[in-house]
Structure 1
Amino acid sequence: MEEQTNLEVIMELIIYGGDAKSNAMEAIQAAKAGDFESAKAKISAAEASLVKAHHSQTGMLTEEAKGNKSEISLLMVHGQDHLMTSMAFTDLAKEIVDVYKRIDEK
């Protein structure tokens, strides 16, 4: 994998991960305000961003499986960390939205 391509993939992990986390946070805020349709849409947007990030990550993993090793840099570690944190945050946001919805129904 070329360095520029590697950098592009890392930046996609950071960008899509950031988009996912932002949408997940907005979903929580919408649910807190009682706007569950918006919360659902924001969770869907977060999940779509995570899918894009996974596609980028899968490309990098495929290249490594082919024997095209990538240099591990601090930026790559940051991108992977950003993605994993966003995944966990999105999962947690789904649970928080569900809690707000249950409270609203009572």
Structure 2
Amino acid sequence: MDLENEVMELIANAGYARSLVFQAIRCAREQQDFAQAKEFMHQAQQALSSAHHVQTRLIEMDEGSGKIPVHLVMVHAQDHLMNAIMLMELGQEIIALHQKIAA
């Protein structure tokens, strides 16, 4: 496994998920297009799943024994993933609130 490519894939997928969640929130707020917001959230979940699969592969390779070096880019990747997961949860709540207000 090429560690650098794996880490960059994690960053890219987590970043893409984050962008999609923000698109979903804007769509709900500005256009009140909740079907499109839901589609953006679905796409975000797929990207987040891809990022999580990379993280799982890295954890499996490390086996809890420090086989994979922890460097700044790895920490950055984990930060992206954590933020994307949190934003996914917040995004769902924000969209639900916009939907409730619109009703």
TM-score range, shorter chain: over 0.9
**Structure-2 separation of matches of 1:68 and 1:79:** 17
- The code of the aligned residue for 2:8 comes to M
Equivalences, count: 102
Counterpart CA distance in 2 for 1:40 and 1:66 is 37
Q: How far 1:66 sits from its partner (Å)?
A: 7.7
Superposition map of 1:78-93 within 5 A: 78-93=76-91
Write the deviation string for residues 31-80 of structure 1: whole angstroms up to 9, x where unpaired.
01200011000000110001000111110011111857111100000000
Instruction: Tell me, in whole angstroms, the C-alpha distance in 1 between the residues paired with 2:64 and 2:80.
Output: 25
SS of corresponding position for 1:81: helix
* Candidates 80, 93, 96, aligned match of 1:95: 93
1:1-106 matches, within 5 Å, as 5-32=2-29, 33-65=31-63, 69-105=67-103
Q: Give the TM-score of the pair, scaled to structure 1.
A: 0.91
Deviant stretches of 4+, over 4 Å:
none
Structure 1, residues 1-46: CA drift from partner, whole Å, max 9, x if none? x5xx111111011100110000000000010120001100000011
Inter-partner Cα distance in structure 2 for 1:66 and 1:93: 32
| Structure 2: 5+ residue stretches without partners | none
**RMSD of aligned alpha carbons:** 1.3
Q: TM-score normalised to the size of structure 2? A: 0.94
Q: Measure, in 2, the Cα distance between the counterparts of 1:76 and 1:61.
A: 12
Distance in 2 (alpha carbons) for counterparts of 1:54 and 1:90: 13
